[in-house]
Amino acid sequence: MDLLPILVAVVALAGIVVLIMTILGRRRTRGKQTDREAILKDATKRLAQNPRNPEALRDLAELHYQDQAWDKAYKMYETLIELATGHPGIDEFEANLHYAISALKLNLLNEAYKGFAVARSLKQDNLEVNYNLGNLEFQRNNYEKAIQYLNQARLLDPEHAPTLRCLGHSLFKMKKYKDALAYIRKAIDLAPDDKESLFTLAECYYEVNQTDQALRIFGHLRPDPAMGPNACLFSGSINLKNHRFEKAIEDFEIGLKHQNVKSEIRLELKYRLASVLLRQQDVGKALVYLRQIQDVHPNFKDVPLLISKYQELNANKNMQIYLMAPSADFVALCRKIVMNYFPRAKVKITNIAVNKNDWADILAEVDTPKWSDLVMFRFIRNQGSVGELIVRDFHAHLKEVKAGKGLCLSVGTFTDEAKRYTEARLIDLIGKEKLSTYLNSVDTKPAKAGGTVKK
């Protein structure tokens, strides 16, 4: 059977159908245009005779509303609302609703709220009215009232994404994080491109201690031009809190690579990056960021204090080790000082005890040409004031091990009470200036093994 004639007939018929539809569409468009022009002409004529003609105002307002000429529609509906009481032909609910929407489009929020409120007094079960009232209350920071309106809107349409979004954000502001999670998650399912809601979802996960989910979302948002810097700040802060320092550094550095970062976010990124670098003992690089912060904001947090403290350390490697290095490196440095403290002496370290990260006590047998004795050293890491209680504890320890002499060394200062306590006792207090001399006099090569370490 030859199919060619059938195919030709089908194609021809399809062409005829398309042609007919096009002609009908054009006629409908012309018809609508003709009707619109007729309504406009008639309404304009009636308003020329009576500027407050309700029917003419209604027809003209509806035309402007459909054309999205919001300023003209707003003025027309404003007049219609004034006339509504005495004219039953005016749909008061619709007039207030369209007035409110026109005002909203013009960013006249108070007028929009007023229109939606009147419309709701006339009809409470309207989705658009309840949603917009909830959204406006949210913008006014009246989250409880917003939640009331939005819950009513949700009952009217459980799949209305803007309602679910605003409801979730309102609950988040009220710190009801678990409730917020459910609504924001559903809103994102309906509108996946909503990056702001995705960010808030991550915040919710963080607040309910689901940090892995939070980190995944923040990590996904890191490249985003708008949300990226803040996402990097959050992600880095979580990693910093969990001692994942390399990941935290990566987060903060990615955040700083973004363009057009808000000043306060940029400062916070640099400050936290400097904090991690200090934890990693990269003092030189940390100081670069701290000085950049000071150039923009001279008194940002404790930046002046940190610069003052660490620029000295940056110039003194041994001081860095003394204050910042892990316990093993700190003890190794202290051993070197002990071995070289007394000139021309034979020194044998017999015991080392470390008290957390606060101080190290080193007991040594010291033999010089003039005297021999058991000497205990206490190396204190705190840069603040050393009080009488610590010195008393040191003295008690001296008596326990029957040491003949004690040396208490600190890069901080000693209080007057501590000094008075040691006046009649065989304890020397060595402050920052003299300790710095000892630190500068020893190299950073590994010390000889010896002694027992107790923690």
3-state DSSP of the chain = CCCHHHHHHHHHHHHHHHHHHHHHHHHHHHHHHHHHHHHHHHHHHHHHHCCCCHHHHHHHHHHHHHCCCHHHHHHHHHHHHHHHHHCCCCCHHHHHHHHHHHHHHCCCHHHHHHHHHHHHHHCCCCHHHHHHHHHHHHHCCCHHHHHHHHHHHHHHCCCCHHHHHHHHHHHHHCCCHHHHHHHHHHHHHHCCCCHHHHHHHHHHHHHCCCHHHHHHHHHHHCCCCCCHHHHHHHHHHHHHHCCCHHHHHHHHHHHHHCCCCCHHHHHHHHHHHHHHHHHCCCHHHHHHHHHHHHHHCCCCCCHHHHHHHHHHHHCCHHHHHHHHCCHHHHHHHHHHHHHHHCCCCEEEEEEEEEECCCEEEEEEEEECCCCEEEEEEEEECCCCEECHHHHHHHHHHHHHHCCCEEEEEECCEECHHHHHHHCCCCEEEECHHHHHHHHHHCCCCCCCCCCCEEC
Can you tell me the distance from the alpha carbon of 108 to that of 129, in angstroms, rounded to the nearest whole number? 16
Tokens of 260: 């057009």
| Res. 432: pLDDT tops 90 | no
Q: CB 196: neighbour CB atoms within 10 A? A: 13
What number is the average pLDDT over the span 174-187?
A: 96
The proportion of the chain whose per-residue pLDDT surpasses 70, expressed as a percent, equals 86
Which single residue is written with the structure tokens 């913008």? 139
Q: In this predicted structure, which of 22-31, 178-187, 219-228, 363-372 has the lowest mean pLDDT?
A: 22-31
Residue 320 confidence (pLDDT): 84
pLDDT tens digits for range 371-408: 999 999 999 988 889 999 999 999 999 999 999 999 99
| Res. 452: pLDDT tops 50 | no
Structural domains of the chain ordered from first start = 32-314 (1.25.40.10), 326-454 (3.40.1350.10)
Can you tell me the distance from the alpha carbon of 375 to that of 385, in angstroms, rounded to the nearest whole number? 24
Angle made by CA atoms 392, 318, 426, in degrees to the nearest 5: 25
The pLDDT-based confidence of 12 (bands split at 50, 70, 90) is: low
Residue 321 confidence (pLDDT): 87
Residue 453 confidence (pLDDT): 45
Can you tell me the distance from the alpha carbon of 35 to that of 66, in angstroms, rounded to the nearest whole number? 14
Tokens of 152: 């009513």
The pLDDT-based confidence of 17 (bands split at 50, 70, 90) is: low
The pLDDT-based confidence of 49 (bands split at 50, 70, 90) is: low
pLDDT tens digits for range 23-43: 555 544 444 445 767 666 666
Which single residue is written with the structure tokens 């326990």? 400
pLDDT tens digits for range 314-324: 778 888 888 88
Residue 40 confidence (pLDDT): 67
The proportion of the chain whose per-residue pLDDT surpasses 90, expressed as a percent, equals 67
| Res. 199: pLDDT tops 90 | yes
Residue 30 confidence (pLDDT): 45
| Res. 85: pLDDT tops 80 | no
Residue 5 confidence (pLDDT): 64
Q: CB 129: neighbour CB atoms within 10 A? A: 28
Residue 54 confidence (pLDDT): 72
Can you tell me the distance from the alpha carbon of 303 to that of 301, in angstroms, rounded to the nearest whole number? 6
The pLDDT-based confidence of 326 (bands split at 50, 70, 90) is: confident
| Res. 7: pLDDT tops 80 | no
pLDDT tens digits for range 275-296: 999 988 888 999 999 999 999 9
